[in-house]
Structure 1
């Protein structure tokens, strides 16, 4: 009874062991299956396409503007903004390594057997079943026939092996076994490439962030103020980051974009920018740009000096430095600020691009943020169309700079100011652009340039409109002139007209012509002839402004007001000045700037990458190419020669071969081989599918081959 129980227990243990082994076999079969590998490769390919089409590692604000709130959040949750470092992408790569590794380990023994075993244990019936076979019945002895067959096989590049089974000798030939190695190499290449991709997947950064050793910084801070928790040490793994270095400056760090923030990657060397150069096409677009770099490395006796440009990077200690972009490097600007409060005062201002200046304007504090400087501003030359009919000629209208004016409440407007006047329709203007948000185009204030190509005349005219005494005198003169032209001599009416002109001037400098029209329409709303009153009031306003302008001309020419005569250019200037006065009221800044001098300084934008797995990927790619070549261009061929002696001293030779790829080529090769054997033996063999009578045996028919 005890023995029976022990037997049952042993049987149950064996069943459990068999179940465990079968479960493990199932898992191995699943991991090494072709379907799983293809599925993983398809997912990796789709992710790679997404990573190629969708720009990677850009600031989140750019993605939000491009895709909108809904899709931005969907793509963010899927980590599509950093596909190659996403957790799911790295997990798939790891699983692909495991799956392909299992597949290779399972199939290597079979492949080894296939390329090392000659399969000499073949039977005559099996050889006759092959489509390519031929038989010879000859009077030559078996040893000579065997030598002929082996020599012929070796002559066609086959490696041979001989085996005797009783009186019968089998010579097995094999060629092209490397195609089986191609199968292994392609799978090994996938593993190697995936390992290289994992090495370059920022795994170190993600692990440090997961463990709380690394904090992503989201504030715009100088590099010296970035906390230590947001720094990565040199040689910390793979990365791709950017850094902007002004001319004659150096940097030993690079900034890595991480989601909506960044971390600072320390470099094991310093980069010094000696000079930056840029060339332009005629339309103003950059044609090429390059940087002269000096690499200071403590491990080097002498620094490295090299010029880099687009598509011509510099590689040092596994770090590749690319010329990626350019920007302003802190151009120094000397500006003159013209106050628009009517005082006519100016204030000199010195600043640099990217510098914030505190200005006290009109009793209120403003912050002026100098954003950018452009040395070239190129547009199409309108005169070229008239001159040559070409629309492909361009002109450079000179330097300009951008700044943002922010009030105490934080509200801001962006401004764009040109240094030199710009010709528009045969007239010259100083252009001052303004917009309330970056999504809007600039709206430009056109200030007419005077005969000295300056804004001085306009600014004096604008200041005169704020002088109440001067305005009152001009308004009274304007009223008298207009009433006299109408044949009306009424001092009281003239005084009322002058008062109206004073009010309109005050409204004009505060709100522009739109505010003046609204004021006038409200005044004449209850009159019998509103259109006539509106027209008269506008004439009074224009004449008052013209009288102020004439007074200005008289003072400049040093003559009596009555002696002033205006020519066509002066009248055109006055018309432009009136429009500019109205636009100044909508300009949105209490000050307008003029560029006196600048010291241009540029900065180069470098992209620095470190990819320790790059060479691994390159090696894997080379192995993959070799494996594919072996798979598709090398054919595994086997040919057997079976020699059987006869009692009459002669012998029978049966040759047969097999090839799984390109059967037409193998058929021709086998025919050539058979012909060579026939030439040596002096007999013709039987081909499959037909009878042939051997010359040495005329007594009976030859054997029918299948």
Structure 2
């Protein structure tokens, strides 16, 4: 009996872990999956207004869904840890793909494929083969190169001894689109990481900063909640400036707290102007500002005008208008308590941004004057979606009443009555503030 010993084929070489990892990170499927997740998260961040006071979210969604959305980080999507991690993997995946494909694309742009074999040419999906017994080699090459010239191709001919290869190329710079697209994803992703408070996250994880949640004046904010100029490479903050005032800091809102970012210069608002359409809708905003910087400007401040879509860029800081409100209008108020039998009116005088002491039914209250609006352009009651019918409901004043325990209730009162369905009404709204 003869025993037959089976023979095994040559084993495939084992790939190293680094090569497998490189292929995984540079795979198209991974990049598309990450890109879809980032796109969905961006849609959520666009639909859901970001970085608002937490009590506003509680009133809007209720305690249960507020807690769910808070745990998911949906109130600051672009600064959430999971979003930063996914965006980082997307940048890494795209960079690996660019690293692997860029040399090949550049080689295809610069080199003619004159080393290709006949069998490889026959394997192309779009290929054809002819025999020209009546044509000599020189005449055939002349006809081929003439066609290349007529159609705008560049060509190169390689003599291999027993045969010659003519290779042509056109539109080689189209391959730059692949490289530029991937590079753009990397650049935009890096910008997203910087704009997503990545450095603040790292500082918070290392315990270098602490979010401030109390309602404190800027001078009373402790050092643990302050950031010195240059401590972070990028940030996005805001500060409310009444006319005639100046500030050398901005507030960075993070989750349910904030940080104070110091600036290496001071911004003074000299004048703020709002232009309105005939309907009462705001048309344009203009801020006349001064920059005070003794180190770089000396005693002469820099004067500039900031308009919509025209920010002021100074020393790498972009200063623009993000919102506007009343800067200190003087008000004379007369209030009638509606929750008690007392009918005597309470008179008060003050300006927007100030706080007054007034008598309440259960004790003294702090009256905090928050905002005054001369125009309130709102949709016409009863108008259908898309009608674009608006009505100016006149001036309004917003204020808070805060008790001795620090609990506040927020009010919005319209100063002129409105006619609805043939009857006149005085409009007012109230809700707990907690701030």
Q: TM tier, shorter chain?
A: 0.7 to 0.9
**Residue in 2 that maps onto 1:376:** 374
* Aligned equivalents of 1:109, 1:248: Cα separation in 2: 58
**Residue in 2 that maps onto 1:216:** 211
Q: Which secondary structure state, in structure 1, belongs to the residue aligned with residue 322 of structure 2?
A: strand
Asked if the contact 1:415–1:433 (Cα under 8 Å) also holds between the matched residues in 2, the reply is no
**Residue in 2 that maps onto 1:657:** none
User: Where do 5+ consecutive residues of structure 2 fail to align?
Assistant: 1-10, 379-388
Q: 1:400 to 1:152 in 2, by over 3 A?
A: closer
* Aligned equivalents of 1:423, 1:41: Cα separation in 2: 50
Equivalent residues in 2 for 1:227-266, closer than 5 Å = 227-235=222-230, 236-266=232-262
**Residue in 2 that maps onto 1:321:** 319
**Residue in 1 that maps onto 2:220:** 225
Q: Which secondary structure state, in structure 1, belongs to the residue aligned with residue 96 of structure 2?
A: helix
> Does 217-226 or 141-150 show the bigger shift?
141-150
Asked if the contact 1:406–1:412 (Cα under 8 Å) also holds between the matched residues in 2, the reply is yes
Asked if the contact 1:401–1:417 (Cα under 8 Å) also holds between the matched residues in 2, the reply is yes
Q: Which secondary structure state, in structure 2, belongs to the residue aligned with residue 325 of structure 1?
A: coil
Asked if the contact 1:282–1:394 (Cα under 8 Å) also holds between the matched residues in 2, the reply is no
> Does 168-177 or 37-46 show the bigger shift?
168-177
Q: Which has the higher helix share?
A: 1
Q: 1:439 to 1:156 in 2, by over 3 A?
A: same
1:407 Cα shift?
5.8
- Normalization by structure 2: what TM-score? 0.76
1:48 Cα shift?
1.4
2:195 paired with 1:197: no
**Residue in 2 that maps onto 1:273:** 269
Equivalent residues in 2 for 1:544-623, closer than 5 Å = none
* Aligned equivalents of 1:344, 1:45: Cα separation in 2: 57
1:379 Cα shift?
9.4
1:180 Cα shift?
4.1
Q: 1:317 to 1:133 in 2, by over 3 A?
A: farther
Q: 1:432 to 1:321 in 2, by over 3 A?
A: same
2:42 paired with 1:48: yes
Asked if the contact 2:334–2:347 (Cα under 8 Å) also holds between the matched residues in 1, the reply is yes
- Output one character per residue of 1:175-218: Cα deviation in whole Å (capped at 9) or x when no partner: 33344444344333333332332233311111111111111111
* Aligned equivalents of 1:318, 1:217: Cα separation in 2: 27
**Residue in 2 that maps onto 1:299:** 296
Q: Which secondary structure state, in structure 2, belongs to the residue aligned with residue 268 of structure 1?
A: strand
Asked if the contact 2:25–2:92 (Cα under 8 Å) also holds between the matched residues in 1, the reply is yes
**Residue in 2 that maps onto 1:158:** 153
Asked if the contact 1:358–1:365 (Cα under 8 Å) also holds between the matched residues in 2, the reply is no
1:262 Cα shift?
0.7
Asked if the contact 2:353–2:371 (Cα under 8 Å) also holds between the matched residues in 1, the reply is no
Asked if the contact 1:415–1:432 (Cα under 8 Å) also holds between the matched residues in 2, the reply is no
User: Where do 5+ consecutive residues of structure 1 fail to align?
Assistant: 1-14, 381-390, 441-706
**Residue in 2 that maps onto 1:94:** 88
Number of corresponding residues: 403
CA RMSD in angstroms comes to 4.3
* Aligned equivalents of 1:81, 1:409: Cα separation in 2: 28
- Output one character per residue of 1:640-688: Cα deviation in whole Å (capped at 9) or x when no partner: xxxxxxxxxxxxxxxxxxxxxxxxxxxxxxxxxxxxxxxxxxxxxxxxx
2:353 paired with 1:354: yes
2:427 paired with 1:438: no
- Normalization by structure 1: what TM-score? 0.49
Equivalent residues in 2 for 1:292-691, closer than 5 Å = 292-297=288-293, 298-300=295-297, 302-333=300-331, 350-359=349-358, 366-372=364-370, 374=372, 376=374, 401=397, 403-404=399-400, 437-438=430-431
Asked if the contact 1:162–1:170 (Cα under 8 Å) also holds between the matched residues in 2, the reply is yes
* Aligned equivalents of 1:159, 1:423: Cα separation in 2: 76
* Aligned equivalents of 2:347, 2:204: Cα separation in 1: 49
1:393 Cα shift?
8.6
- Output one character per residue of 1:601-646: Cα deviation in whole Å (capped at 9) or x when no partner: xxxxxxxxxxxxxxxxxxxxxxxxxxxxxxxxxxxxxxxxxxxxxx
Q: 1:373 to 1:29 in 2, by over 3 A?
A: closer
Asked if the contact 1:405–1:413 (Cα under 8 Å) also holds between the matched residues in 2, the reply is yes
* Aligned equivalents of 1:114, 1:379: Cα separation in 2: 60
Q: Which secondary structure state, in structure 1, belongs to the residue aligned with residue 321 of structure 2?
A: strand
